[in-house]
Structure 1
Amino acid sequence: MHLAVIATLVLSLFTNPVSSSFSDTFADPAVIRGQDGYWYSYGTSDPLREGEKVMHRLPIARSSDLVDWTYVGDAFGPDNLPPYAAPGSLLWAPDIRYLDGRYVMYFTVTDTATTPANWDYSIGAATAPTPTGPWTHLDAPVVAPRPSGGSYWNTIDPSQFTDVDGRKYLYFGGFFGGLWVTELSADGLHATGQPQQVAIDNKFEGAYVVRRDGYYYLLGSSANCCAGPTTGYSVLAGRSTSPRGPFVDREGVPLLASRAGGTPVLDQNGNRFIGTGHHAQLTDLSGQDWMLYHAIDRDDPFLDEPYGINERPMLLDRLDWIDGWPAVRAGAGPSERSREKPVTRGVVDDRFAGDLSGWRNPAGWTVQDGYVRGQGTLISRKSLGGDVRVETDLKTDQSAGIRIGGTTAVVSPDGLTLTSDGTSRTVPLPGGAATWHNLAVTVKGRTITAEVTEARLRDPQASVTVTGRAHGPVGLVSDGGAAFDNVSAARLFKAVTKAAPTPRTGRLLDADEFTGPLGPGWTWVRQDAAARTEDGVLRWPVQGADLVGAGNQASVLLREAPEGDYVVETKVTLDLGEDTVRNYQQAGLIAYASDDDFARLAQVAIWNTRQVEYGRELTFADRLSYGGNIVGPPAKTTWLRLAHHVDPANGEHEFRAGSSRDGKTWTWGGVWTFPKDTAVRIGLIAHGGAQPAVNADFDYVRVYRGA
């Protein structure tokens, strides 16, 4: 084994997928930290192992460190369906929350007995006193099936969110119907009012919302979750100053627009994992955010080969915030091996399973039922200075909280109060803290922030910041009657603020500006006589033909690619209009090995939307497979790039897709790969549908040395 590989293995703290110890597939993972201090993850209903062929109805796994997981059972047995579910209904895509003293699990019900139709999706919920149950179904759906003509909208993929004013929301929806939000009753179990659409249909599913620095971030998964070896699933984001939207991406493009916005958060990067999406988020004890999500091993894409259920194990990676936007590993995408691990134990770390030997001033404090109660101040014998994060789970109907030196953060009937250096600020805490809440205090220099959540899932019910000093021993303070558990103090994480490198262009290697006849080097696959150079562009009427599938009728205009790393770029004007259905007219770039082995990057009409899709077709197990990855939003004129890189480890050809609406600001999406010995040419396509007639105008094709 090469020394560099050995060094990587030694330095690796964990290997993805983190679910491999108990399952081969664990799709659509949800996550929460239970009051017992363990982390719990919940997956969609599938067999757990290859060959098992037994459906686990929302399986549950437990971990003490977010890396090593153990299967602990299923939420529901084979005969335990909601009373409104039709026999044989599937339960998909759970979301887990801790609301008002109990665990609430939301999930998709695929077949609802209240209508005569099949696939009349609804959102169900169940409650439990512990993360593993026993779970009690509600008598009726939280969101009932929503008819659309002769079928039903995709009322799927629920995700709950509680705002700082105490209002509870549920986000749901999918490609057929779009993403929606509805307000919930105070107990979180019933939809109230009218739902509101927050993202356009035919682009997103798997919604997840967090609040950070005054913004609400809506993250959704895009493209097909389950196309086997060509799955291009990814996570995109928009943000708003309201939980109801409007949500816009980094360039200000609305998620509700026909040319739909979305800033990439997670994309496949050329390693073994593709189809990265449908995620949940969490914060470790240091304050670092992490993302749990599923992906597909491109060499082992199905649970029972060939074809069948897509095998989607659970992965874990760091989630960074770059210039106000979330990005997994600063934009580097999924890891196979990680050299870092979530902080799940602090310098101070007590679950109160024993005595109070680690604490000073224990008089008046007692450990009972796995938590500590008392009055006055309980001080840890351990201490740490500098930037820290201190947190505890607590419940109180009086006044209780955290002390760091002379700084205190206290919850009481008046709200959350943070006091330091004589400065004190109080903000409301809707509903109080009479049930278990998490109180976290972060100290970064002289900036001190206290935050209260119900389950540490980036949905603060109260947050307050002051300027002061917080140095000294960590302690708990109580006026009496409060209960504390899961107390920790850890070094504050060091934020990654610089984005991972993206492809750049070096010197110009080759170009055709289309100012005259096609230059030398171009060759046709099935020449299209209608394509011509005029007015300084290659004007190509979009063909009523396609490359996807076995028909292979569409024309392809190609040229040889240079050796090594390079970037090919074009500027294409394609007036697809907006909102109307023009399936699947498109034009753009292609990396072409054959009619059944290509990756194409095009501005395309997908039903009512206009998207930049990066599609891949290849042969797997004697069948053709096609899937797409979504890049940035298009404009009438869109700039496109394919950045080619040769992987030095295995010689594979990696092509990463980029798009731009102005030729200056680039959005980079996912990577498709070709085997080492594949001869790949580069070129242009304009196909997918001839009606209504439209021209694709290519201004140029330029090839640069990759930098």
Structure 2
Amino acid sequence: MKTLVLLFLLIYASEAASQELQKEISVHDPVMIKQGNTFYVFATGRGINVWSSKDQVNWKRERPVFSEGPQWAIKVVKGFKDFIWAPDIQFINGKYYLYYCVSTFGKNTSAIGVATNVTLDEESASFKWEDKGLVLESIPGKTNWNAIDPNVFIDAKKNAWLTFGSFWGGIQLLKLNKDLVSVSVQNLKAIKTIANYERAANADAEETQANAIEAPFVFKKGKYYYLFASVGFCCRGSKSTYRMIVGRSKQVSGPYLDEKGRDMNDGGGLLVMKGNAYWYGVGHNAAYTFDGADFLVFHGYDAKDKAKPKLRIEQITWKNGWPSVASALRLN
């Protein structure tokens, strides 16, 4: 009996700890969405990390999306188990679409998949993630792009577009089929590069040689589509050079130009934010409108906490049609 009581107490303590609200949560490649009065963050991690919050300050850790790695991913990416990168969450036609990617680090052996759900509330009887499998794959020696860092957006004509890419051939644009989970052969042949960093004027040789651009995110504001991207190098502790740039276009297909008219496909891009003494590098951002205000959601490497990646949320202000972050990156 004592053993059963002890086991119950251990289980209760574990569940209570998982329900404990946290601030300054450690995430990498965060995206956010709001359902009802609850915000949800999805991020890179085993099975895809999930957090929820009522106020964007206090966060509760939820169960991962996947309890084990999708079987299709195990076949496509050799050595893959359950570590999933850079998700993107969208609510389209009454359903949540969670795009995600699997990859071999440092190679373009990568693939993008998608799972769907009708609710994000784990307490709902309708809550169930259904994996729809492979959307797009990149193969070394066969594709000059990397099928990673997906972002999906719907244009004014209700067409669905996938932007993606990391290093290699830069940022790509691809039209999805109407089912939102597949790509036609015709559209795959029409894939288009919309951002490249090999000829960037304000970058060092290592960045341009590696074409260090990734994590695209498209945000519609007024008459423009804004293409955000991260440039430089993440994941290097105090030597991380990650920073965010943006360009805009009246057409989905571009060209995406910066404030000086420079094409992002030719190394252009307006600097939105870079690291400082408090945050070594900042990037992999998403942009959203919540309750009438625009926000930049991203991760920064916390200088006061061993360069751990932390969730950052900053309000966007607009001047002459260009986004900026009003507050500087501070210690808090």
Alignment root-mean-square deviation, CA: 2.4
Q: Which ranges in structure 1 are unaligned for 5 or more consecutive residues? A: 1-18, 46-55, 112-116, 303-310, 338-707
Go from structure 1 to structure 2 and tell me whether the alpha carbon gap of 1:228 and 1:60 turns closer, same or farther (over 3 Å shift): same
Verify: 1:60 aligned to 2:53, yes or no: no
For 1:146 and 1:243, the matched residues in 2 are separated by 26
Verify: 1:196 aligned to 2:192, yes or no: yes
- Compute the TM-score of the two structures, normalised by the length of structure 2: 0.80
Go from structure 1 to structure 2 and tell me whether the alpha carbon gap of 1:64 and 1:299 turns closer, same or farther (over 3 Å shift): closer
Counterpart in the other structure of 1:4? none
Counterpart in the other structure of 1:207? 216
How many pairs were matched up?
287
Counterpart in the other structure of 1:312? 309
Asked if structure 2 preserves the Cα contact closer than 8 Å seen for 1:57 and 1:76, the reply is: yes
**1:82-481 alignment to 2 at 5 Å?**
82-86=71-75, 87-89=79-81, 90-110=83-103, 120-131=109-120, 133-139=127-133, 141-148=134-141, 153-192=145-184, 193=187, 194-200=190-196, 202-257=211-266, 260-270=267-277, 272-285=278-291, 287-302=292-307, 311-329=308-326, 332-337=327-332
The alpha carbon displacement at 1:22 in A equals 6.4
Asked if structure 2 preserves the Cα contact closer than 8 Å seen for 1:22 and 1:70, the reply is: no
For 1:169 and 1:333, the matched residues in 2 are separated by 32
The alpha carbon displacement at 1:267 in A equals 1.6
**1:674-693 alignment to 2 at 5 Å?**
none
For 2:162 and 2:288, the matched residues in 1 are separated by 18
Identical columns (%) = 28
For 2:52 and 2:108, the matched residues in 1 are separated by 31
Larger helix proportion of the pair? 2
For 2:264 and 2:172, the matched residues in 1 are separated by 12
For 1:248 and 1:334, the matched residues in 2 are separated by 26
For 1:82 and 1:246, the matched residues in 2 are separated by 38
Residues 144-180 of structure 1: per-residue CA shift (max 9 Å, x gap)? 224436x863221000100111001010001122000
Asked if structure 2 preserves the Cα contact closer than 8 Å seen for 1:120 and 1:152, the reply is: no
Asked if structure 2 preserves the Cα contact closer than 8 Å seen for 1:58 and 1:92, the reply is: yes
Go from structure 1 to structure 2 and tell me whether the alpha carbon gap of 1:138 and 1:234 turns closer, same or farther (over 3 Å shift): same
For 1:146 and 1:97, the matched residues in 2 are separated by 26
The alpha carbon displacement at 1:282 in A equals 2.0
Give the aligned residue type for 2:287: Q
For 1:284 and 1:126, the matched residues in 2 are separated by 24
For 1:171 and 1:190, the matched residues in 2 are separated by 14
For 2:107 and 2:247, the matched residues in 1 are separated by 33
The alpha carbon displacement at 1:137 in A equals 1.3
For 1:118 and 1:28, the matched residues in 2 are separated by 18
Go from structure 1 to structure 2 and tell me whether the alpha carbon gap of 1:82 and 1:238 turns closer, same or farther (over 3 Å shift): farther
For 1:235 and 1:24, the matched residues in 2 are separated by 21
The alpha carbon displacement at 1:264 in A equals 0.9
Counterpart in the other structure of 1:40? 40
The alpha carbon displacement at 1:118 in A equals 7.0
For 1:301 and 1:237, the matched residues in 2 are separated by 29
Asked if structure 2 preserves the Cα contact closer than 8 Å seen for 1:121 and 1:152, the reply is: no
Asked if structure 1 preserves the Cα contact closer than 8 Å seen for 2:87 and 2:101, the reply is: yes
Three-state SS of the structure 1 residue aligned to 2:264 is: coil
Go from structure 1 to structure 2 and tell me whether the alpha carbon gap of 1:213 and 1:244 turns closer, same or farther (over 3 Å shift): same
Verify: 1:26 aligned to 2:31, yes or no: no
Residues 384-415 of structure 1: per-residue CA shift (max 9 Å, x gap)? xxxxxxxxxxxxxxxxxxxxxxxxxxxxxxxx
Residues 505-555 of structure 1: per-residue CA shift (max 9 Å, x gap)? xxxxxxxxxxxxxxxxxxxxxxxxxxxxxxxxxxxxxxxxxxxxxxxxxxx
Counterpart in the other structure of 1:364? none
Counterpart in the other structure of 1:362? none
For 2:221 and 2:297, the matched residues in 1 are separated by 18
For 2:147 and 2:47, the matched residues in 1 are separated by 19
The alpha carbon displacement at 1:24 in A equals 5.1
Three-state SS of the structure 2 residue aligned to 1:174 is: coil
Larger strand proportion of the pair? 1
For 1:229 and 1:22, the matched residues in 2 are separated by 22
Three-state SS of the structure 2 residue aligned to 1:165 is: coil
**1:527-542 alignment to 2 at 5 Å?**
none
Asked if structure 2 preserves the Cα contact closer than 8 Å seen for 1:28 and 1:94, the reply is: yes
Asked if structure 1 preserves the Cα contact closer than 8 Å seen for 2:213 and 2:230, the reply is: yes
Asked if structure 2 preserves the Cα contact closer than 8 Å seen for 1:99 and 1:188, the reply is: no
The alpha carbon displacement at 1:122 in A equals 1.1
Counterpart in the other structure of 1:446? none
Asked if structure 2 preserves the Cα contact closer than 8 Å seen for 1:168 and 1:184, the reply is: yes
For 1:281 and 1:136, the matched residues in 2 are separated by 26
Asked if structure 2 preserves the Cα contact closer than 8 Å seen for 1:159 and 1:208, the reply is: yes
For 1:64 and 1:81, the matched residues in 2 are separated by 30
Counterpart in the other structure of 2:62? 72
Asked if structure 1 preserves the Cα contact closer than 8 Å seen for 2:175 and 2:183, the reply is: yes
Residues 548-577 of structure 1: per-residue CA shift (max 9 Å, x gap)? xxxxxxxxxxxxxxxxxxxxxxxxxxxxxx
Q: Which ranges in structure 2 are unaligned for 5 or more consecutive residues? A: 1-19, 198-210
